[in-house]
Amino acid sequence: MKNFRLPILPLAALLAAATCAAHGADAAADYPAKPIRILVGFTPGGGPDITARYIAQKLTDAWKQQVIVDNRPGAGGTIAANTVARASPDGYNLLSVSSAHAVAAAIYPKLPYDTFMDLAGITETSSSSYVLVVAPSLGIPASIVAAGAIGAILGLIVLRLRGPYLALTTLSFAEIMRLVIGNSYGFTRGDLGLNVPGLLESRLAYYYVFVAVLAAAQGGLYLLLRSRAGLFLQAIRDDEVAAASRGVDVVLWKTVAFTLSTALSGLAGALYAHFSQLVSPELGLISQTGLVICMVVIGGIGSLVGPLAGALLVYVSSEMLREVGGIQLIVFALLVILIARFFREGLWGLARRALKKAAA
């Protein structure tokens, strides 16, 4: 990492001074009297984790008291920050953040803690001069093309597989890419992520842009499904063997569908990057992929409206259950199992069936 510096002795002095101000001179004189935790909001092995472990070792040697690194990944570092915010302000629970996004109210307007009242900065442990500047007029189309190209190449390789083998292969590829990006510090800054400039001034403007893009995508898919290519895709969805027996090139059209879906994902990712103003490998965690799968299955596979309804339901429910930790993943997993077993059409399919019965 460029411009890397670790002011360990100033950090020790600042911690002692903070303890003195909070608990009096006697407490500062005895500090540290027990092991200290440094909470890191990312998985082990990344840049923030390596930095925190280096600091912990130096402080352990200087103080002759154990300093422990505690990894609490998830929610952009918010889980680790919330743990420190709720801990006793005695200097024994420290937070190591990268890019300050875990404590940036501008990025996360609804945090479970007050960034000014519950947390206090002590020192800067490292800095980096990395910067990547690309005009949005180039970056967004490049994201679409790059994602579509990756989807096409991956599709040609794996789409001869079926069922769970296809799912496991694509999930494995996504995890491999996340690990590669997370460890490519020289280009991506690893888990620190890259700062991205915003496109618009207000969140309301972003909302209208996202709605317009969603409407355009849904309209394009609607027209596609009613074209000759759409008939091929629906035939493959219903019965691959029957479609192949009628002369449909199954691998070709599945690759086309794969490429189109990854290109749309690239567009969504590029817009989200400008909205959040930060991109990091944490966006590709399997838990995030699981939420997307839950949205599709719960809403209803095989329809245009189902995934939208599922996305709205899962997202709102996830925010409501955020306060109780990771229980939302358990709830959504149970819903996916129940719907996949008993209601294959999802909630939208159940709603359509109910409307037909009411109309009859």
Q: What is the reported pLDDT for 145?
A: 93
**SS3 state of residue 71:** strand
Bridge-based pairing of strands 278-279 and 194-195 is antiparallel
Domains of the chain, CATH where assigned: 8-103 (3.40.190.150), 132-284 (no CATH), 286-360 (no CATH)
Q: Which segments of the chain have a pLDDT < 70?
A: 1-29, 46-47, 75-76, 98-109, 124-136, 186, 322-326
- How far are the Cα atoms of 52, 201, 216, 220, 306 from residue 213, in angstroms, in the given order? 41, 18, 5, 10, 18
Block residue for tokens 């180039």:
138
What pLDDT score does 216 carry?
94
Predicted model pTM? 0.62
Question: Could you please report the per-residue DSSP string of 34-64?
Answer: S-EEEEESS-TTSHHHHHHHHHHHHHHHHHS
Q: How far apart are CA 194 and CA 249, in angstroms?
A: 41
Could you read off the pLDDT of 121-165 as tens digits, one per residue? 777 666 655 555 566 678 888 889 999 999 888 888 887 777 777
Q: What is the pLDDT of residue 22?
A: 47
Q: What is the DSSP string of 131-183?
A: -----HHHHHHHHHHHHHHHHHHHHHHHTT--HHHHHHHHHHHHHHHHHHHHH
The pLDDT value given to residue 133: 58
d(CA 45, CA 43): 7
